[in-house]
Amino acid sequence: MKTRLNSFALAGALLASGMPMPGHASAGVRVCTFPGSPSTVLDEAVTREAFRSAGIALTLAPGGFASNDDDGVSLKELDKALARKCDVIAGFPRSEVADGSNSKLTFSRAYLHSGYVSVTMHEPAAHTGDAEIVAATYASPAQLIAVQQPNVKLDLENTAELTVDAVANGHAQRAIVWYPAVVAYTKTHPERRFQIAQAASAYADWQLVFAFGKNGAALQPRIDAALRKMDSDGRLATLTRGWTLPRTAQASMPDTGVFAYRDGPRHADIKGAIMRAGGREIAEGHFIKVDAAVSTEAPAFDRGQVAHGKTLYSSACAKCHGPDLQGLNAPALRGPSFAPTANAKLTIGGVYGYMATNMPADRPGKMKPQDYADIMAFLLYSNGYSAGKSKLTDESARASSKPLSAGSSLNAGTSP
């Protein structure tokens, strides 16, 4: 393994200088795509043209990932693929608010601006029920977008194709789905016509890029140069035609600052206050903001519930937020991006109330109150708060009006 890594580093240096690659690398740089991705056809087409323009030989390796299950690719599988079978991953989805790379990868410029959209039939059946049935793909950003919306009943599907199919066959009135999945579906079902609209959520906006592992990081400047050239001469527009978001889904998104704490847009039609802290009420989907006049201590929690909360987090939250709270297809839950050390805008009670009402995305509000409190204890500990001797309860967590801010020395990854 060490010999191969060193020889590839040499190959990358030769590529950067424009010299031919010797010996074992004559087969070309190994480029993988994600298993089951609906954009694979596009990703491979852009890959061939970009690498041809950059003068880099390549080998497409569609079987680079060991897993091909419905739950996607884990960080462990991603690292393993980049260490053993791939040098570059084409079609890597990136988002400003939900980037699970943890800065270990190098990325190209985007070759497609895409994202999650709201899909209905052109002539949808009359909506007769109280709650709209909305299909979404399990354990994906689509699920996180759908759960933010009011008055819906979730229809969770195992794949993006089945999510589109739920609308096409009338099992759901609407779907939140990755737009390339809609394109792929209509290619195999040309008789289907859908109405595409913007999904108003910070989770909805994504870009497709090339991701380079440490073996292929030296290639990034040349691929970027190739993509810029393809963009300027129209080749990229030609390749991505048909995959670009329709104008109905390109309405300007709210500034990401509006979604700084990932609680989604405000809905005027939400009825009923469901979270309380400090005597105030807040509608579903909102966090309680910090009152500058209030200064209180953070609620106490003990080490035992931190340990229990970590276990619960691993089973219920890590799949979306990352095993180290670093963010995957949902935002990070530790550090300044989650809880800035200065100018904190959220209360501990507000964050807790949102979590206990809306999470986990597949079972919102369905865990025991004390389990939510234990997870909150783990989040506080992971953001620099110290464990004490008193137990954090559902009541004390909801009542806290203390600003939530990450400590200067984070405890995440250490034993409680």
Residue 153 sits in a domain whose CATH number is 3.40.190.10
pLDDT in tens, 155-202: 888 889 999 999 999 999 999 999 999 999 999 999 998 999 988 777
Range of the domain at 388: 260-399
Tell which wins on pLDDT, 319 or 292.
319
DSSP E strand stretches across 233-285 = 273-277, 280-283
193 and 286 co-located in one domain: no
Which element (helix H / strand E) includes 225? helix 220-232
Pairing of strands 280-283, 273-277: antiparallel
180 and 41 co-located in one domain: no
305 pLDDT exceeds 60? yes
- The CATH number assigned to the domain holding 310 equals 1.10.760.10
191 and 135 co-located in one domain: yes
Tell which wins on pLDDT, 17 or 218.
218
Contact (Cβ atoms closer than 8 angstroms) between residue 326 and residue 100: yes
Q: How many residues does the structure list for the chain? A: 416
65 and 179 co-located in one domain: no
Give DSSP secondary structure letters for 176-191: EEEHHHHHHHHHH-TT
Tell which wins on pLDDT, 26 or 55.
55
Determine, yes or no, domain membership for 412: no
**Confidence at residue 242, expressed as pLDDT on a 0 to 100 scale:** 93
Determine, yes or no, domain membership for 409: no
267 and 365 co-located in one domain: yes
91 and 220 co-located in one domain: yes
**Confidence at residue 63, expressed as pLDDT on a 0 to 100 scale:** 63
350 and 267 co-located in one domain: yes
306 and 346 co-located in one domain: yes
List residues bridging with 101 in a β-sheet: none
Average pLDDT, the chain: 75
Determine, yes or no, domain membership for 132: yes
Determine, yes or no, domain membership for 308: yes
Instruction: Name residues whose C-beta falls within 8 Å of residue 191's C-beta, 6 or more positions apart in sequence.
Output: none
3-class DSSP state of 108: coil
- What percent of the residues of the chain are helix, what percent strand, and what percent coil, each to the nearest 5? 35, 15, 45
48 pLDDT exceeds 90? yes
105 and 123 co-located in one domain: no
Determine, yes or no, domain membership for 404: no
